[in-house]
Structure 1
Amino acid sequence: MGDFRHHIAAFLCAASLAGCIPATPAPPSRPAPAPDFERRSLGEALDVYERPTWTLKSVTTNAVRVNAGVYSVRPGDTLRAVGEMTGAGSEALAIENDLAPPYTLRFGQELSVPAGLYHRVGAGETGIGIAAAYGVDWGEIITINALTDPYILRVGQRLRLPSDARPVPRGPVDIDARAAAFRLNIDDILTGSQPALAEAARPTAGSAAPRPPVTTAIAEPAYFVGRFEWPLNGPILARFGPIAPGRVSDGINIAAAAGTPIRATAGGVVAYAGDQVGIYGGLILINHGGGWVSAYGHAGRIDVKRGQSVRMGDVIGRAGATGQVQTSQLHFQLRKNRIPVDPMKQLPPR
């Protein structure tokens, strides 16, 4: 069921999720799945099929405490240079001093330097990985740094951390020691899983069958055709909206026999393919452009990779019972500008 409305305060691991990195090459063909396939975890199921293409990469914690102060602009100063000298970063200085592009400074201008703990973004690091490394909420980082869509960080950018950030030793975070303490949700993936880019680099466009999976930030499709098709046929087990006191579904659940093909509801680019969001098990996210994203959860098999272009009707995986369900089914969501919408109002009548 959906978890968009309740932002989880802890995250899956203290490591950055730096996009799709293949764990091992796909194994040769294996025997058909055992009769109890629908009761397997995704990890067990993918021992039979193909392993997820999204894995973990460490974040180097380097946060520095900056004290509040005032900086007097000198000849030749740029906002970026002042941000480096003060340790607060140009983005924080712009917010604190209500500056707007092109951020032209005047000789003698006094800039307020906001106090805080600042992390310097490294190559390939992601927002959710940085948040996890310091044990803070990625949503808070978005807010205090005024981050906006498409939420792609810049290498060298200074991110101001929430006040409850836990001091940690400088250096790579121990993934295994802290992985069990964190959880992710779909919104975290949509806003915080893009690896940081160098200053002049551009996001990568989707391709037919990337090999290996794309490990850089991915560009949104240029356009959206404006219609969706059903990802598979089957009885509706749960509908969009409230389902019990204090529980809300951000999508619909469709019954499907284990191994039933899951098809892309519309053309787009795979933004995520893996099993790091525990509640959904095998999960695929497709960015369709125009602010639209579709989600496919509880997959027992994943047949696409991050950065892969897909067309409406392409098989992207197989139904299963991974995540927090007992029977084989598909959890299907549609989101517009990150907000879950009722898929039944967007799909063709049947």
Structure 2
Amino acid sequence: MAPLPLLLAGCIPAPVQDSAPYAAPPAPTQTASAIPPSPSMPQQSAKPEPQMIERKPVWTAQQVTANARTVAASSYSVQPGDTLRGVGNRTGAGSEAIARANGLQPPYALRPGQSLSIPGGRYHAVAEGETGIAIAVAYGVRWSDIVEINGLSEPYVLRRGQRLLLPGGTPFSSPAPSPRQPSTSLERRAAAFRIDIDDVLTGGQPAAIEDKPGTVAKAQPRPLPSNVPIAQPGTFSGPFAWPLKGNILARFGPGESGAKNNGIDIAAAIGTPIKAAADGVVAYAGDSIAVFGGLVLVTHGSGWVSAYGHASRIDVVRGQKVRKGQVIGLSGDTGYASKPKLHFELRKDRVPIDPMTQLPNP
């Protein structure tokens, strides 16, 4: 992975990373199909019933209040003792934006009397418990646009108090709905908001708690609270294993319709165990990405991430360490699946890689 985002040397308080956009799903409960029938119960048909993925307390837009401050473009004369962070606090602009506007480089030393250009715009101050995706939803803008306009770098770690410059437009407000008029609330805009795997990988990690500048605190025991970053695995060089065995329904790359498949689709009867392709840590487990339904993302280290979509049941939680071959859920036809299957992806530094080049011969 690339280095952490711009951290202003010598003037950064202990940052707190924003909260994950999705709460960790609860431990799975035993389903009715898993309970053997008693002699008095009628025998069920041998045909398996489709299992619905358990609804979980997933991410909601209410985590972020759209209270951005509009700052006019201006200039600032540096005073004795000023730091770049302090100038940002005084002007309301982001210190990172000020650094970019003035061509400042680490360690961002300022001199009294120096004139700084303060870039104007709308700035959102990151609060504890916020994620990049949740901030994007609060203002109805794309997370990728926030990344671009702020020059954020991988792995896109936010910190408490960081001021993010927002793309154009006006903040969204949530007026109280009248009895005669349907709500045009933040929840409605959030419902229309679309995210994908890349959004989760870049904007879903909560702000890291630093014990001191440059030192990220260790993750807490699982199940990990949604406002704590996951532990990052060490180096990884493979190999990967098949998450399950089945006929390949769709291969990596452009399909018949021209749409690109970023992974492979494997035929699997509903309820087939899905196994982790390698050791790692669960980065996401939920069903908030509509196209994939039940989805698990596992980070393996060295930039590798595996994705498992269309699950009917998820048996792991965010932040949980998993071992290669461990069952992480059951296959299904959730999301936009036209038939029971597993959608499986491998990504290296967020770039989709053909899984067939990394998996052993079937």
Alignment partner, residue 172 of structure 2: 168
Alignment partner, residue 290 of structure 2: 278
CA distance in structure 2 between the aligned counterparts of 1:162 and 1:36, rounded to whole angstroms: 49
- Kindly state the Cα deviation for residue 166 of structure 1 after the two structures are TM-superposed: 3.0
CA distance in structure 2 between the aligned counterparts of 1:273 and 1:27, rounded to whole angstroms: 12
Unaligned segments of structure 1, at least 5 residues = 1-15
1:36-185 equivalent positions in 2, closer than 5 A: 37-38=49-50, 45-47=52-54, 51-52=55-56, 54-56=58-60, 58-163=63-168, 165-169=169-173, 176-185=187-196
Query: For residues 333 and 346 of structure 1, do their structure 2 counterparts lie closer, same or farther at Cα, with a shift above 3 Å needed?
Result: same
Alignment partner, residue 275 of structure 2: 263
Could you say what secondary structure the match of 1:60 adopts?
Answer: coil
Would you say the 8 A contact 1:62–1:171 is kept in 2? no
- Kindly state the Cα deviation for residue 320 of structure 1 after the two structures are TM-superposed: 0.3
**Does 1:340 find its partner at 2:345?**
no
Kindly provide the amino acid, as one letter, of the partner of residue 18 in structure 1.
A
Query: Normalising by structure 1, what TM-score?
Result: 0.85
Could you say what secondary structure the match of 1:32 adopts?
Answer: helix
The answer to which of 215-224 and 153-162 deviates more is: 215-224
Kindly provide the amino acid, as one letter, of the partner of residue 129 in structure 2.
G
CA distance in structure 1 between the aligned counterparts of 2:140 and 2:48, rounded to whole angstroms: 37
Would you say the 8 A contact 1:206–1:309 is kept in 2? no
Alignment partner, residue 3 of structure 1: none
CA distance in structure 2 between the aligned counterparts of 1:347 and 1:166, rounded to whole angstroms: 48
**Does 1:291 find its partner at 2:303?**
yes
- Kindly state the Cα deviation for residue 325 of structure 1 after the two structures are TM-superposed: 1.0
Could you say what secondary structure the match of 2:32 adopts?
Answer: coil
The answer to which of 169-178 and 113-122 deviates more is: 169-178
Would you say the 8 A contact 1:60–1:170 is kept in 2? no
CA distance in structure 1 between the aligned counterparts of 2:28 and 2:244, rounded to whole angstroms: 27
CA distance in structure 2 between the aligned counterparts of 1:22 and 1:226, rounded to whole angstroms: 27
- Kindly state the Cα deviation for residue 100 of structure 1 after the two structures are TM-superposed: 1.4
Alignment partner, residue 20 of structure 2: 18
Kindly provide the amino acid, as one letter, of the partner of residue 109 in structure 2.
T
Deviations 1:266-290 (A, max 9, x none): 1111000000000000000001110
Two-structure CA RMSD over aligned residues (Å) = 2.5
CA distance in structure 2 between the aligned counterparts of 1:100 and 1:94, rounded to whole angstroms: 7
- Kindly state the Cα deviation for residue 328 of structure 1 after the two structures are TM-superposed: 0.9
Query: For residues 341 and 230 of structure 1, do their structure 2 counterparts lie closer, same or farther at Cα, with a shift above 3 Å needed?
Result: same
- Kindly state the Cα deviation for residue 37 of structure 1 after the two structures are TM-superposed: 3.9
- Aligned residue pairs: how many? 323
Q: Which residue of the other structure, out of 202, 216, 221, is the alignment partner of 1:191?
A: 202
- Kindly state the Cα deviation for residue 178 of structure 1 after the two structures are TM-superposed: 2.8
Query: For residues 345 and 195 of structure 1, do their structure 2 counterparts lie closer, same or farther at Cα, with a shift above 3 Å needed?
Result: same
Deviations 1:325-349 (A, max 9, x none): 1211000000011110100011111
Would you say the 8 A contact 1:213–1:305 is kept in 2? no
- Kindly state the Cα deviation for residue 69 of structure 1 after the two structures are TM-superposed: 1.1
- Kindly state the Cα deviation for residue 91 of structure 1 after the two structures are TM-superposed: 0.9
Would you say the 8 A contact 2:196–2:289 is kept in 1? yes
Q: Which has the larger radius of gyration?
A: 2
**Does 1:238 find its partner at 2:239?**
no
Query: For residues 182 and 318 of structure 1, do their structure 2 counterparts lie closer, same or farther at Cα, with a shift above 3 Å needed?
Result: same
Kindly provide the amino acid, as one letter, of the partner of residue 307 in structure 1.
G
Query: For residues 175 and 284 of structure 1, do their structure 2 counterparts lie closer, same or farther at Cα, with a shift above 3 Å needed?
Result: farther
1:202-221 equivalent positions in 2, closer than 5 A: 202=216, 204-205=218-219, 210-211=222-223, 213-221=225-233
- Kindly state the Cα deviation for residue 28 of structure 1 after the two structures are TM-superposed: 4.9
Alignment partner, residue 7 of structure 1: none
CA distance in structure 1 between the aligned counterparts of 2:242 and 2:57, rounded to whole angstroms: 25
Kindly provide the amino acid, as one letter, of the partner of residue 293 in structure 1.
V
